[in-house]
Structure 1
Amino acid sequence: MTDVTPIFRRTTYPTISPSNPSNDQSGRTVLVIGASEGIGFSIALAYAQANASKVILSSRSQPKLDDAVAQIRSKGVQGEVTSIPLDSGDIGQIETFWKRLEQENITVDVLILNAAKTGTTTTAAEVIEFFHFNVSTKLHMLEHFQNHHKDAKRSKILIDVSSAALHAYPYPMTAYSSSKAAFSNHLCHLADEVPEEEMRLVSMHPGAVYTSAARGSSEYKEDLPLWDHPSLAGHMGLWLSTPAAAFLHGRFVWANWDADGLVDMKEKILADAGLLKIGVTGVNSFSVSSLMEKCAESPAPKDRSLI
């Protein structure tokens, strides 16, 4: 998995940068779920820096959202940056959230699903909670987005922030990895039914980002070579919405894979309906230890501050 493209990226680069005119988001409204910090924040910042007309940040905590919005606005972005609180694990709140968007006549062009439940499980009830948050509630978000402003005749883009955990063996968080695999696999199949021109569907492993969740782990320390710069996830999440990435509809990609290398593989990917999709298709197995070795070969910047 670490050698899909010749270059294994650890930080941003010109092809995926918000400053690249090819990645301009003018005229688009972008909604990022789970955006108050970490990976979601880096993605929201990238779209704002790429001139999105409106970027809406969403998470459960309004104070954290207020801080995130202020940080992005402080970068001098041109478009509107705002927030709407949402507990994306609550189906009732999801219903109310989309009704509010309709009432306020907000047409979302790009939806980023970043919120997820993480941790370990020991009982069936706990596993079910993971599938509720990481699959069931996302299906409701997906359905609302698919039916959102159908009369507008505007193409939609959905990018799900998934995880390499779904194809890592062994991996300690079984319910997390299996629930992530379930939703990503659903998107792979749904893309066979929904044309890219109607709604692009892409799953992305954001790389290894030292988030607050990682800080709470006793296993993964900050000084490991594993951690990528957060700009990589943010900017790859941006590039995947551009015309250049249309051929990745229905595919699962790593932020670490070089975008230019993926473009070079375009004909190969389009010729194989199962390539870069969730399933057993003959690729070598992936493990965290092999990723550690790759990251040691390709060091990331030591300064991982985004702002």
Structure 2
Amino acid sequence: MRVVMFGYQTWGHRTLQALLESDHEVVLAVTHPGSEHAYEKIWDDSVADLAEKHGIRVLLRNRPDDPELLAALRESAPDIIVANNWRTVLPPEVFELPPHGTLNIHDSLLPAYAGFSPLIWALINGEREVGVTAHRMNAELDAGDILLQRAVPVGATDTVTDLFHRTVDLIPPVVTESLDLIASGRARWIPQDRSRASFFHKRSPEDSRIDWSWPAEDLERLVRAQSDPYPNAFTHHRGARLRIVDASVSQGCYGGTPGRIFIREGDGIVVVAGAGARTGRLRGLLVRRVRTEDGAEHAAADYFRTMGGYLTARP
């Protein structure tokens, strides 16, 4: 089949690489210009560079609705569009143009975690598995009929970086198998159960701010969901921003006010956590390593020389 590819960053790059290694012909690649958004500078393998290396025409667009792009799509006469990590809405005149429509590759197990940063949100929420879905694009974001899904388990200590590498490795087989099913007429499309759907917004610095009223179990997952190279979960100590880069749930239960720098336990420092911490029945967050605004990383036991005082959401 003749394929037009819409995509961006490493997700789009892996998708294009899979298409290039398949039995199908890539006739056009559409991608976004470079971005200064913190989350769009992390996994930033270039779709444009890969396409140009293979002699494929590239169009750079923030939005896919100008006359030149629509004309290029018609001239390319694709049998199908394949999209992955395209950051703005594709209009119907684009996604309905090819005979086989548009196959979107999304890094969640739809219908849950439609939208943005699904791996981060899924890890924060304690999901036991994450994955990749190939579905037919329609007018509602990430809501079209599903063709194929592949999942990987989430381990007790996995970071979002671990999950990124595991799920991005699913892209090539999902893309290749999906196109082969479509080309052979063996595709079976399953409507999504919209009662199970959830939709998440883009991450921003505010989403990494620690709220000490969260239970320690949730905060520990937030720290793992903001592992390097992502912007780390952060709090404030004596008016300065402090990033938490390694933490776990304390062994003991500790009572008091959320955010209190309380006691040494093992190789870390326990911070009181949870809205019900006043009962003394909740675990605290055992902080092991922190990073200051100058980029220096410290063992928490060295950084917090004395107990007492509070970590706060704002200076």
After TM superposition, the score normalised by the length of structure 2 is 0.40
User: Per residue, is there more strand in 1 or in 2?
Assistant: 2
TM-score, structure 1 length as denominator? 0.41
Compare the two structures and name the one with the higher helix fraction: 1
Larger Rg: 2
Higher relative contact order, chain-length normalized (CA < 8 Å, sep 6+)? 1
